[in-house]
Amino acid sequence: MLKLFRYLKPYWWQVGLLILATGGQTFATLQIPALMADIINNGIVKENTDYIWQQGLIMLGVAVISAGCALVSSYFSARVGANFSRDVRADIYRQVLNLNLADTKDYSTASLITRTTNDVNQVQQMIMMMLSVMLLAPMFCIFALVMAVQTAPDMSWIIAIGVAGIIISAIVILGITMPKFKIFQKLIDKITLLTRENLTGLKVIRAFDNEGLEKDKFDKTNNELMRLNIFLDKILKLEGPLVNIIFNGTTLLCSWVGISLLNKDFTYLGDMSAFAQYVAYVMMSFLMLSILFVMLPRANVCAGRIREVLNIKPKICWKVETEGVPDKQASIEFRKVDFRYPGAGEKVLDDISFKAQAGESVAFIGSTGSGKSTLINLVPRFYEATSGEILVNGINVRNYARDDLIRRIGVVPQKGVLFAGTVKSNIKFGAPKATDAQVEEAAKIAQADNFIRKLPDGYAAHIAQGGTNVSGGQKQRLSIARAICKNPDIFIFDDAFSALDMKTDARLRAALKPVTDEAVTLIVAQRVSTIKDADQIIVLNDGKIVGKGKHFDLLKKCKIYQAIVESQLSEAEFKKEMRRADG
C-alpha cells in the first residue's frame, strides 16, 4: 500500500494544501465548544450581553473559516484521489499491453482486468479515506485532547476511561467476528458457484431431471449462510448500543465530576459541557481509526495485487532500429530452436529446424501439448526462443525493431477476436492506411464479403464489444480478413479454420492461394484435410519434429502421422489414402 504512495508524488503541493486545510478545519471546529463555554461563563453568568454578541460573532467567523478549509480539503482530496487512480490505471494498462505472453502467463485475463478496475477503485477509496480520515482523526484527536486538558485538567482522566471503553469494545467485537468473516466470504463464493453451475448446466440438469438435487445442495449452503449471517450480525449490532452507552456515560461522568468540582471553581459550569464535547471528539477519532483498520487489510491486498503486475519485468527487449537489411523476398527459417518456459525443466520445443521461401506453406500437426502453438508464437516474439535462431527475411527476429517485425507478420489466432467498432475498423486493425478497396478485397478472400454486405450498414456495420453480435464463423473470417489486409510476408494460421465448416474452409483456402504466393504460410491445424496440400508438413510430438515432408510421404514414413490420419477417416477411406500414398 505504502509503495503506491509514490503515485501521489506529482501532486505533492496539492496534498500539502490538503493537509494544511484539514489542520485548519480541525483547529477551527474545536474552537467552537471553547467559545461556547466562554459565552456561558463570562457572558451569561455575568449577564454581559455585549460580550455574548461579540463572542457569537467570533464563533461565526470561526465556523466560516472551518467551512472554507473543509471546502479546500474536499476539493483537493477529490482531485488527488481521481488523479491517483487515473495514473495507476494507466500504468497497469500500459504494462499489460507491453508485456509478452511469457510474462503474463501466470495471470488470467479476468484477474488482470480485476486488478486494473476493481483493485484500483478499492485503493483509490482507501487513499481518499486516508487523506480525510487518516489526517483528520489524529489531528482531531490531538487537538481535542489538548483543548480538553486545557479546559479542565482535573477531569482529564475521564478521557482515558472513554477511549479505553471504545478500544476495548472494538477489539472484542472485531476479535469475535473477524475470523468468521473468512468463512462468510467462502459461503458467499459457494452460493455464487452453485448459482453459476445451475445456470451453465441448465440443460444438463434438466436433461437428468435433477432440479431437486440441485435445490437441496443450494438450500444447504443457503441455510448455513443465513445462520452465520445471524451470528455475525448479532455481535456486530452490539456495537451501536455499546458505543451509545460509552458516549452518553462519559457525558454523564463529565457532568457529575464537573458539578462536584464546582465548589473549587465555579467556571467548571461552562467548562464541563465543552469538556464533554472534546471527549466526544477524541472518542470519535478513535472510532474512525478503528474503521480504517478494518478497511486497511482489504485495500492492502488490492495494492499488493496491483504492485505484482507493475513489478513484472518484461523479458523481451526490442531493438530501436532494425539491424541489417531484411530481404525483399519473404522467407522464414528456424535454426536449432529450443524453448522452455522460464524456470521449467522440460523443453517445450526441442531442436526445431526448418526453412520456407515465399509461396511455400508449412503445416504443423500433432496432439495437444506437442508444442505447435508455442512454435508459431516464437515468430512474432510473443515468446522468446531459449536457444537457436529464428530468421525472418534473412534477419534474426531479435535484430528487428518491434513494428518492423510485426508488420511483416499476419497472425490469425484460434479464437476470432474482434474489437468494438465497425467491420471496417476491425479489418483495418493492423493496416491503418488500407484503402476501402483493399479492405473489401481482403474480406472477399476471407469469404466474409457476402455476409458483410448483408449486414444493415455493410462495412460500416457496428461490431459490439468482443464481437458478440457476429457468429463464431463470421468472427473467424473477419479476423482472417484482418491478417490479409496487412499484406504480410508471413501468414500464421493458428488452428484458424476450425470454426469454419469444411465447405467454407475449402473455399477460403482456394481463394487464399494467390494472396499467399508472395508470402510464407504457417498453418497449425487439427484436421488433416486442412493441411493435406501443404508444401511441407511438420509432425510434432512432445516438442520434437518426428516427421517432415508432404502428405503422402508422411503417410508412408511417419507412424504418428498415419495414426492421426487414421483417426480422422473411416477405415475404407484410410486404406484408400494409404494406397494412393503407395501408388
Partner 1 sequence: MGRNSGNSGVIGARVQTPQKQGRKGQKQKGQAWVAFKRFLTSIKKYRGWIIFSIILAIGSVALSIMIPKFLGDMTNIAVNTYPEIDFGSILGLVWLVLGLLVGSAALNYAQAYILTIVAAKYTRNLREQIIDKIARLPIAYFDKHKYGDTLSSMTNDVDIIAGSLSQEITDISLSLSTLVGAMVIMLSISVPLSLVAFIVVPMSVVVVGKIMNHAQKFFELRQNTLGVLNSVIEEDYAGQLIIKANSHERESLTDFKQTNQKLTNITRKAQFLSQLSMPITATFTNLSYIVVTVVGGMFTIQGQITIGALQAFIQYVSRFNRPITEIASATATIQGLLASTERIFQFLEQPEEAPDLEPARVVDDVKGAVEFHNVDFSYLPDKPVIRDFSVKVIPGMKVAIVGPTGAGKTTLINLLMRFYDPVSGYITIDGVPTMEMKRSDVRRLFGMVLQDTWLFSGTVEDNLRYGCQSASLEDIKRAAKMCNVHHVIEALPNTYHSVISEDSDNISAGEKQLITIARAMVANPPMMILDEATSNVDTRTERLIQDSLEKLTHGRTSFVIAHRLSTIRNSDLILVMRDGAVVEQGTHSELLKAGGFYAELYNSQFAEN
Of the candidates 259, 297, 308, 329, which one interacts with partner 1 according to CB under 8 A? Answer: 259
Of the candidates 215, 220, 462, 559, which one interacts with partner 1 according to CB under 8 A? Answer: 215
- Residue position matching grid coordinates 471553547: 34
Give yes or no for a contact between 549 and 536, defined as CB atoms under 8 angstroms apart: yes
Strands 387-392 and 331-339 turn out to be antiparallel
Is residue 345 part of the contact set for partner 1 (CB under 8 A)?
Answer: no
Is residue 277 part of the contact set for partner 1 (CB under 8 A)?
Answer: yes
By beta-carbon proximity to partner 1, the closer residue of 100 and 335 is 100
Is residue 498 part of the contact set for partner 1 (CB under 8 A)?
Answer: yes
Question: Measured from the CB of residue 336, what is the shortest distance to partner 1 in angstroms?
Answer: 25
Is residue 77 part of the contact set for partner 1 (CB under 8 A)?
Answer: yes
Is residue 341 part of the contact set for partner 1 (CB under 8 A)?
Answer: no
Question: Measured from the CB of residue 307, what is the shortest distance to partner 1 in angstroms?
Answer: 18
Is residue 361 part of the contact set for partner 1 (CB under 8 A)?
Answer: no
- Residues 12-41, interacting with partner 1 (CB under 8 A): 25, 29, 32, 36, 39-40
Is residue 74 part of the contact set for partner 1 (CB under 8 A)?
Answer: yes
Give yes or no for a contact between 167 and 286, defined as CB atoms under 8 angstroms apart: yes
Sign of CA dihedral 452, 457, 461, 462: negative
Interface size with partner 1, residues (CB under 8 A): 171
Q: Rounded to 5 degrees, what angle do the CA atoms 87, 88, 94 make?
A: 90
Is residue 316 part of the contact set for partner 1 (CB under 8 A)?
Answer: no
- Residues contacting 31, CB < 8 A, separation 6+: 59, 62
By beta-carbon proximity to partner 1, the closer residue of 297 and 369 is 369
- Residues 146-165, interacting with partner 1 (CB under 8 A): none
Is residue 83 part of the contact set for partner 1 (CB under 8 A)?
Answer: yes
Separation CA 84–CA 124 (nearest Å)? 7
Of the candidates 202, 297, 342, 556, which one interacts with partner 1 according to CB under 8 A? Answer: 202
Taking CB under 8 A as the binding criterion, the range among 146-154, 257-265, 327-335, 454-462 that sits at the site for partner 1 is 257-265
Of the candidates 10, 226, 327, 329, which one interacts with partner 1 according to CB under 8 A? Answer: 226
Rg over alpha carbons for the chain, rounded to the nearest Å, is 36
Is residue 82 part of the contact set for partner 1 (CB under 8 A)?
Answer: yes
Is residue 311 part of the contact set for partner 1 (CB under 8 A)?
Answer: no
* Helix (H), strand (E), coil (C) string for 64-110: HHHHHHHHHHHHHHHHHHHHHHHHHHHHHHHHHHHCCHHHHCCCCHH
Question: Measured from the CB of residue 457, what is the shortest distance to partner 1 in angstroms?
Answer: 21
- Residues 532-551, interacting with partner 1 (CB under 8 A): 533
Burial 424-448 (b: 16+ CB within 10 A, else e): bbbbbbbbeebeeebbbbbbebbbb
Of the candidates 3, 105, 196, 298, which one interacts with partner 1 according to CB under 8 A? Answer: 196
- Residues 102-141, interacting with partner 1 (CB under 8 A): 104, 109, 112-113, 116-117, 121, 128-129, 132-133
- Residues 376-415, interacting with partner 1 (CB under 8 A): 380, 382, 402-403, 406-407, 409-411, 413
Give yes or no for a contact between 353 and 336, defined as CB atoms under 8 angstroms apart: yes
- Residues contacting 152, CB < 8 A, separation 6+: 258, 261, 268, 271, 272, 275
Is residue 200 part of the contact set for partner 1 (CB under 8 A)?
Answer: yes
Taking CB under 8 A as the binding criterion, the range among 151-159, 285-293, 298-306, 439-447 that sits at the site for partner 1 is 285-293
Mapped onto helix, strand or coil, the DSSP state of residue 407 is: coil
Is residue 563 part of the contact set for partner 1 (CB under 8 A)?
Answer: yes
* Helices of type H across 321-462: 372-377, 402-406, 423-427, 436-445, 449-454
* Helix (H), strand (E), coil (C) string for 213-224: HHHHHHHHHHHH
Which DSSP string do the residues of 104-158 spell out, in sequence order? HTTS-HHHHHHIIIIIHHHHHHHHHHIIIIIHHHHHHHHHHHHHHHHH-GGGTHH
Q: Integer distance in angstroms from the first to the last C-alpha of the chain?
A: 72
Of the candidates 263, 317, 456, 583, which one interacts with partner 1 according to CB under 8 A? Answer: 263
Taking CB under 8 A as the binding criterion, the range among 336-344, 364-372, 390-398, 440-448 that sits at the site for partner 1 is 364-372
By beta-carbon proximity to partner 1, the closer residue of 287 and 522 is 287
Is residue 49 part of the contact set for partner 1 (CB under 8 A)?
Answer: yes
Residue 122 CB-density burial (10 A; 0-12 exposed, 13-18 middle, 19+ buried): buried
Is residue 422 part of the contact set for partner 1 (CB under 8 A)?
Answer: no
Of the candidates 50, 106, 501, 582, which one interacts with partner 1 according to CB under 8 A? Answer: 501
By beta-carbon proximity to partner 1, the closer residue of 150 and 210 is 210
Give yes or no for a contact between 551 and 530, defined as CB atoms under 8 angstroms apart: no
How far apart, in Å, are the Cα atoms of 535 and each of 355, 511, 554?
11, 17, 12
- Residues 438-497, interacting with partner 1 (CB under 8 A): 465-466, 471-473, 479, 482, 486
How far apart, in Å, are the Cα atoms of 139 and each of 19, 64, 281?
10, 19, 11
Is residue 44 part of the contact set for partner 1 (CB under 8 A)?
Answer: yes
